[in-house]
Structure 1
Amino acid sequence: METSYQVLEQLHKKILLGGLLENDSQEYAFYLNLPFSAQDLSTSNFLKWPCVHRGNQASSVSMDATPSPVASIDLKMNFQVSNPRDIMLLQLTVIKMMITKILSKKVEFSIKEKYTDIIEILLKPYELESKLISTFHGSDKLLSHMAAKCLASLLYLQLREKAMVNKTWTAFCLKTLSDYPESNTISYCLWTLTAVIKEILKATCLQRAEILKQFLTSFDFLFEAFYCSVFSQHFENYQDTSLNPKITNFLICFLDLLEILIASRIHLKLYLTCQRIFYLKIFCALDIMTWPIHSLVKKKFIILLKRCLLHKVGEDVLSTSPPPLVEQDPYLDMDLSALGNAFLQAVNLGWLKQLSFSGKPSHFGGSEVQPGNRSLVPDVVTLRASSLVLLKSLEIKVHMCMSANEVKAELQKFMSQLLTFLKQHLQSSLKLHHHCEWLSKIFIEQDDDMLEAAKASLSIYLKLTRAWNEAAKGMTQEKETWDHQTHENGFNPHCIFLFLLKNIGFDATVLLDFLISSETCFLEYFVRYLKLLQGERNNFSNVCKLFDAAELRNGVHIFSIVTSHIEERSSNQATYQPLFCGTNRYALLPLASDSTTSGTNMEQKDTETVKSKQPNLLICIDNTSSPGASQSLVNYDSSEDSEEESVEEECLSNIKQTSLNHQDITKIRETVSVTGEKNQSYLESTASLLDPKESSTLSSFGCEAATNSIASQIVISYKTFKCLKELEKAISRLHRRHLFPYNPSALLKLLKHIDAINKTK
């Protein structure tokens, strides 16, 4: 035993260093030969192993009468006698390393040839694949896992070098899938399948599609029946199902396999049944969210569903990005439609109501919520993914509807269910005050999903607006009804965009980072919204007035915000940070009163402040456009610029706050001189768009508050266009210096047009 372990140790070192193996291939294969089966790992059968030796003498026992090798390997180190398990683990490690070296392009041909000869001997006389498969029946999880890794590498080696699928493996795979759920090796079978497909997708050879098709065809006809049988098992007969590691491991392996199958469809343009089954038969799989299983499995399932709808399957597995949608397969639209319709059908049958949020919430550093407060913390990952899946499914459904009435019915039905669902599961600190606020509340910590949701919401709005305009035929009353419904159903694009800007403190550097980054769809969303803004300038202004009026009604006046910011900066407090992923009371001002952020004393103090210091308010409005904007996210400045250029054009990474110019101050003062009666009627007319329970508060604010609010009615609008103007300047500067990653000419044209429209108003 000691000699066998020493030989394997020396062989491991030589392979690790890339050295040439001098001895005969039969000799090395003899030491690498695995036991007959997993039962041979017992001590009583250990002496029957062909690789076991006594002292310095090689054992005469060999399988298939294979000649015993000559013990001519120089042993220089003394090792303690190891048990059979350690020897087998070392054997598996060495075999895996050999296969990896054969597949590598950096290894010399002579070394590869030697390794290939050893593997061939292990395959033919010693039946390596059969012994690896037999290890799956053992109770040692580490040995079984190492055997699965070796088997996956071996299968891929045969596929790539010989374009053949191992017959022994194929028979085992078919039998295991057919025998489910009685089979005890199903998890290893699925894991090996997944590992082989990953290796094919990561390969650089041009025949990847042909290799994968040959590999998948062998069990493609059986996979649909296996898929349906998995999701027909509810595991009710098991005890402590949520904590059963065997069931959890199997379901995770199965979901991993589904994801890699879908990823292979996207990347290699194959359309086999096993690659499309998740789209076509998703309805039977949705019940998994109600099963008594581990919450990790439920999260993986809903995230897989989300990635399918976003065309991002396999992004965590593969380094290469999926091909553009221009090259999409001919079945994709039909499959996405089937997936979306099935999900909406399940939601219509009460799927959201049955959704449970079991399991402990995740916290940075591994901390947990106190038992008394645990119920207040929702599973935000599942909550966010479910919301995005519903929104994307609704987007697909809306684009299939033809009439405005169908569109209206679908929208109201599903958005009302979503908003009700969110209100039930959100924390009190995240409760909704305006229906359009749900998107920024849910996705505040996940900017890529937030922008995907914003883009889907905008797509729904554009589709419905066209359908509604055709049905209304320009009628004013119908148009007002439609505007009201966009707020009521939480998808008004102007509200969503303003909430986004408020979350980032109207900091143009964050928008610039989004435009430069390839991790989000912000560019696509931003261009679509700017085009919409060109034609809906009046609608945008009305929404801005709603925001400003709500801030005034809550007692959070602009001047008090400016004062608090100045006090914070002067005292050098680090509590306020205009971070996008954080939540601060000034970054997101609700459209309805919140008892947690405003009180009677605060309202009285703010009212007195506005009365006494209104002129100062007019001067300080601009200072609130980007609180803390001096803390730039990225420094785009360069020492190559001349001093004059730096003075002439401010760099976006260090936006300087300046006071309003004379024309802007005059414009604001003229606006303030308007009588309060006109503004009071406006407040009463727009109060209906807010929470009905609190609309009376807005309408009863009085003529005095209405007059004060006129000064702030252009604040949100001004800060928005100022932010867009700063973004335009930064992009232009970077583009002139050839530092922008792509050609922004079209985007700059849009931004300049928006700025021109704003100046003419």
Structure 2
Amino acid sequence: TRYVLLLYLFVVQEILDQLYKKVLLGAILEDDVYGYIHYLNPDLSEQAGYTAPSLAQSHVNGTLDGVPGQHGPSSNELTTLPETRECAKRHFEMSTAREVKLLQLTVIDVMLSRVLSAETETHAKEKYRELIKVLLQSAEVDSKLICMLQNPDKLSSHMAAKCLSSLLYFQLREKMTLSNPWIIFCQKHLSESSGSSEAAHCLWILTAVIKEIFRDTHSRQAEILKQLLAPFDITFEAFYNSLFSQHFGNFQNPSNIVNSLVCFLELLELLIASRIHLKLHFRSQRMLFLKPHALDSLAWPVPAFVKRKLVIVIKKCLLGKMGEDLCRGSVPALMTPDHLLDSDELALADALLHAVHLGLWKELSVPGKPSCFGGDEVQPGCRPRSGPDHVTLRAASLITVKSLEIKFQNCTSATEMKVDLQKFMAELLTFLKPHLQPSLQLHNPCEWLSRVFIEQDDDMLEAAKASLSIYLQLTRGGDDASGSLTQENEAWIHYTHRNGCNPHCIFLFLLKNIVFDSTVLLDFLISSETCFLEYFVKYLKLLQKDWGHFLSICKFFDAAESQRGVNTRGPVSSLVQDRSTSHTVPDALASPVGHRNACPWVPWASDASSESHSQVVMPKETHTVPAHGPPSQTPLSLVDYGSSEDSDEEATNQHLANSKQTPLCQEMSREIQRLPRTCKDQNRLSREPQLGPLLPQESAPSLPFGAAGDIAPSGTVWEVGVLFRTVKCLKELQGAIYRLQEKGLFPYNPAALLKLLKGVQAKCDEV
């Protein structure tokens, strides 16, 4: 009867609830675990109508058969239940059965997590492990969970997928044979239909299992993952070809295709990450590199977040950062080079550039509607944010520049590189133009990089490093040890600037964005969040060889500010007052050297104008100590740094020492608070290497500053030329590094870096 059925389900629910509480606490199961098998069987709710009469009789007797220590209600309690229970509707029964099934899945999932947890007591863990193995062998719970994946109830289907992923990982960890019904189910649905909901479930479960393998840094990590992937290597390739070789309009269910795309892109990232971090080798790990059909989906009418995900996956492939969030703790600092991976990256870069040439960025939409956590629908009463999807803009820009860098590293023809640079950078700048407001000024196309990446410092420095590498490839063999400009170099300089990759402009825009604050550069140097150290070392080497070019660019920046009506010796904004102090400067250095003829070799100088440096870019997840302000407002720890690249070839094998010790970070923070900020503070660095006078001594009396140093009688701070501010910033950085090194607080040996900074200062002294 309906009454007995409901009573049966309520009692089962009570038993499962008690079991759940025990497992959640990691308590030991006192009695025989086999008594719980019946109540954890996913078929229980479907079979309730057949087992209810016999179970009801056991209720009358006051015990529950097969459940040690459990007692049902007495006969008196049974007769006092309301008569209205017998008239309950069928949907109430179904709802109760559904709750029982969800509770079963929850108990199994929590029990699996307890078995795999190191915090669970050993005896309790053995009881849980024994119970799960019995469920697999006698109840065939894996097959029943696979059937539940096709349940139209989304919550039940999701819980079945989650429980099944935990069960598969348990089998791998316990050195058990991987579930054969699961292998057959996956191979069937991934091979037959790329747009089915079953295929999406397979991809999601495989992704969840691989993530668990990456998180658990045990010695058998590579072996376990190999056991999981081996049966599906050919299947993955067939699914990839089927998914991306079709036209979007040929798919019957677009929503299923979107789900499959999202799940497969996440799985694809993990497959490539296992190649990089675990040194596994499968054919399916090379699909995206050698068969870049996935690029075609950027023109499909799918939601913007799907396209964004694909562009980000390609970006991680080209940067070698696949799976960095999961693998950071287990990846060795130095890994053997993978030449096969290098050739695959070149193939992907060539394919991407070919697609760009065919109009890829013209077809990629970057809608202004933002995709936020919780969905992309703007709630009533909230003001929608304007502007394009900057995440997609940054990723598309970075993969274009990175692809050019990879191609140029494998190209020997200067003529070919010149043609490619103009062709692809023109495509990129055309793509960016309608999305940058205000639009880029014609006088300095190199400004695009700082404008696009202003909110993402790690991508900005990757793009700057790639752009610098492109410039070095274009000008290789043309270095002049004297630092003067040759006619051939001037032509290359003009060409690279016109195409938005002049390294000196990019570096100066970076300094302007941080208001020439040396503490920001110091924070970049001691942080492992960006590639700034590698970029900075390469740029300082170039700066010494390319000094004449750098001086011309500095003059042009000053002339551009003068063209806009900015007095380079006038008062600066309050932002600069907070972030940067200024020193006295002679008229000859502060004033722009000429106006329209400041850079006679640059034809775009006549149209000069420069954007205000009112924006400040901060290092990602680091803390910068402000120039002024009470110590109580300064964070105690600058950065929690783990690993870093060394400052020069002679120091490439050195590692950061004591990088995660809190006292070291706190002491470094206190030292940086005391870094010299004004002219009067320079005498505190009497033991530091002197960089040479920046200003002639005889010019000091005529300066409009008070005796204290930087502040004029009116209370304003005075801005000076770009060259002086750059040299001053590098001088302060050198002094800060030396001081921290003296106290043993710098995280790695900065000797090579200090040597490069001294070389730049020697060039300044010549000026």
* TM-score normalised to structure 1 length: 0.77
Measured in 2, the distance between the counterparts of 1:636 and 1:195 equals 38
Identify the residue that residue 115 of structure 1 maps to in structure 2: 128
Equivalent residues in 2 for 1:447-462 (5 A)? 447-462=457-472
What secondary structure is seen at the aligned counterpart in 1 of 2:569? helix
User: CA deviation digits over 1:247-286, x for unaligned, max 9?
Assistant: 332221111111111111111001201112111112x111
Q: Does 1:200 align with 2:206?
A: no
Question: Where does residue 401 of structure 1 map in the other structure?
Answer: 411
Distance in 2, Cα, partners of 1:499 & 1:49? 76
The residue number in structure 2 matching 1:438 is: 448
The CA distance in 1 between the partners of 2:334 and 2:366, in whole Å, is 34
| Partner Cα separation in structure 1 for residue 441 and residue 729 of structure 2 | 28
Cα shift at 1:109: 2.8
**2:174 aligned with 1:161:** yes
1:556 corresponds in structure 2 to: 566
* Residue type of the alignment partner of 1:540: F
Per-residue CA shift, 1:617-673, capped at 9, x if unaligned? xxxxxxxxx9984359956899x9xxxxx9xx99565623669989437469999xx
Q: Is the 8 A contact 1:30 1:50 kept in 2?
A: no
What amino acid does structure 2 have at the position aligned with 1:73?
Q
Superimposed CA distance per residue, residues 593-632 of structure 1 (whole angstroms, 9 cap, x where no aligned partner): 569989xxxxxxxxxxxxxxxxxxxxxxxxxxx9984359
Q: 1:526 aligns with which of 502, 516, 536?
A: 536
Check whether the contact 1:223–1:274 (CA below 8 A) recurs between aligned residues: yes
1:352 to 350, 353, 361: 361
What secondary structure, in the 3-state scheme, does the structure 2 residue paired with 1:718 have?
helix
1:669–1:333 Cα change, 3 Å: farther
Q: CA deviation at 1:376?
A: 6.6
Partner residue, 1:731:
737
Q: How far off its partner does 1:429 sit?
A: 5.9
In structure 2, the CA distance between the partners of 1:124 and 1:565, relative to structure 1 (3 Å rule), is: closer
- Map 1:226-265 → 2, pairs under 5 A: 226-236=239-249, 241=254, 244=255, 246-265=256-275
Contact 1:52 1:58 in 2 (8 A): no
1:311 alignment counterpart: 320
The correspondence of residues 445-594 of structure 1 with structure 2, limited to 5 A, is 445-466=455-476, 476-562=486-572, 564-565=573-574
Alignment map for 1:69-468 (pairs within 5 Å): 69-70=66-67, 72-73=69-70, 83-181=96-194, 183-236=196-249, 241=254, 244=255, 246-282=256-292, 284-320=293-329, 322-324=331-333, 326-358=335-367, 360-361=369-370, 377-428=387-438, 433-466=443-476
Provide the identity percentage. 50
Question: Measured at CA, do residues 577 and 25 of structure 1 come closer, stay the same or move farther in structure 2, by a change above 3 Å?
Answer: same
Q: Is the 8 A contact 2:41 2:139 kept in 1?
A: yes
Match of 2:13 in 1: 5
Contact 2:626/2:634, CA 8 A, preserved across alignment: no
Q: In structure 2, what residue type is equivalent to 1:395?
A: E
Distance 1:114 1:518, change over 3 A: same
**Could you tell me which amino acid in structure 2 is paired with residue 23 of structure 1?**
D
Which one-letter code corresponds to 2:739 in the other structure? R
Say if 1:49 and 1:630 are closer, same or farther in 2 by CA, change over 3 A: farther
Alpha-carbon shift at residue 106 of structure 1 (Å): 2.8
Query: Does the residue aligned with 2:696 lie in a helix, a strand or coil?
Result: helix
Counterpart in the other structure of 1:24 = 32
CA deviation after TM superposition for structure 1 residue 83, in Å: 0.4
Give ranges in structure 2 of 5+ residues lacking alignment. Answer: 1-8, 86-92, 581-603, 614-623, 639-662, 664-668, 683-692, 704-717
Greater helix share, structure number: 1
Q: Measure, in 1, the Cα distance between the counterparts of 2:219 and 2:206.
A: 21
Task: Measure the CA separation in 2 of the matches of 1:92 and 1:627.
Answer: 51
Task: Find the aligned partners of 1:51 and 1:439 in 2 and give their Cα distance.
Answer: 75
Deviation of 1:74 after TM superposition, in Å, equals 5.2
Structure 1: stretches of 5+ with no match in the other structure: 60-66, 570-575, 579-589, 599-625, 641-645, 672-711
**In structure 1, what is the Cα distance between the partners aligned to 2:258 and 2:363?**
21
Q: Is 2:696 aligned against 1:664?
A: yes
Q: CA deviation at 1:756?
A: 2.5
Q: 1:236 to 1:669 in 2, by over 3 A?
A: farther
Among 721, 742, 748, the residue aligned to 1:742: 748
Return the alpha-carbon distance in structure 2 between the equivalents of residues 376 and 729 of structure 1: 43
Could you tell me how far apart the structure 1 residues matched to 2:316 and 2:694 are? 52
| CA displacement 1:171-217 (0-9 Å, x = unmatched) | 11111111113643111100111111112222232122122112211
**Change over 3 Å in CA distance of 1:628–1:117 after alignment to 2:** closer
Deviation digits for residues 3-58 of structure 1, max 9, x if unmatched? 1011101111111122111222221111101118xxx76xxx64247999548639
Distance in 2, matches of 1:498 and 1:183, equals 52
Output the CA distance in 2 between the equivalents of 1:525 and 1:388: 15
Q: Residue type of the partner of 1:664? A: P
Q: Root-mean-square deviation (CA), in Å?
A: 3.9
Match of 1:559, SS state, is coil
Q: Distance in 2 between matches of 1:91 and 1:55?
A: 24
Superimposed CA distance per residue, residues 483-527 of structure 1 (whole angstroms, 9 cap, x where no aligned partner)? 111211111111110000000000001001111111100011011
1:696 is aligned to none
Using a 3 Å threshold, how does the CA distance of structure 1 residues 56 and 497 change in structure 2: closer, same or farther? farther
Per-residue deviation, 1:167: 1.1
Q: Deviations over 1:370-425 (max 9, x none)?
A: 99x98972221111100100000000111111121122112111112111221133
Q: 1:569-648, aligned counterparts within 5 Å? A: 629-630=627-628
Relative to structure 1, is the Cα distance of residues 328 and 74 closer, same or farther in structure 2, using a 3 angstrom cutoff? farther
Query: Deviation per CA, 1:46-74, whole angstroms, max 9, x where unpaired?
Result: 42479995486399xxxxxxx96156325
Deviation at 1:713? 12
Alpha-carbon distance in structure 2 between the residues aligned to 1:518 and 1:741: 11
Quick one: structure 1 residues 408 and 52, their matched pair in 2 at CA, closer, same or farther if it must change by over 3 Å? farther
1:330 deviates by 3.6
Match of 2:59 in 1: 57
Question: 1:115 Cα shift?
Answer: 1.2
Q: Which amino acid aligns with 2:149?
A: F
Instruction: Find the aligned partners of 1:27 and 1:428 in 2 and give their Cα distance.
Output: 72
AA aligned to 2:177 is M
Q: Is the 8 A contact 2:196 2:257 kept in 1?
A: no
CA displacement, residues 545-588 of structure 1 (integer Å, 9 cap, x when unaligned): 000011111101123333x549x97xxxxxx878xxxxxxxxxx
1:3–1:56 CA contact under 8 A, matched in 2: no
8 A contact 2:367–2:388 mirrored in 1: no
Note closer, same or farther for the CA distance 1:431–1:9 as it changes in structure 2 (3 Å cut).
farther
How far, CA to CA, are the matches of 1:733 and 1:185 in structure 2?
62
Are the counterparts in 1 of residues 485 and 549 from structure 2 also a CA contact under 8 Å?
no
C-alpha displacement of 1:239: 9.0
Q: Aligned pairs, how many? A: 646
Secondary structure of the 2:16 match is: helix
Q: How far apart, in 1, do the equivalents of 2:700 and 2:526 lie?
A: 35
AA in 1 matched with 2:174: E
Give the direction of change, closer, same or farther, for the CA distance of 1:150–1:718 in structure 2 (3 Å limit).
Answer: same
Q: Distance in 1 between matches of 2:133 and 2:380?
A: 59
Q: Give yes or no for contact 1:650–1:656 (8 Å, CA) kept in 2.
A: no
| Partner SS, residue 317 of structure 1 | helix
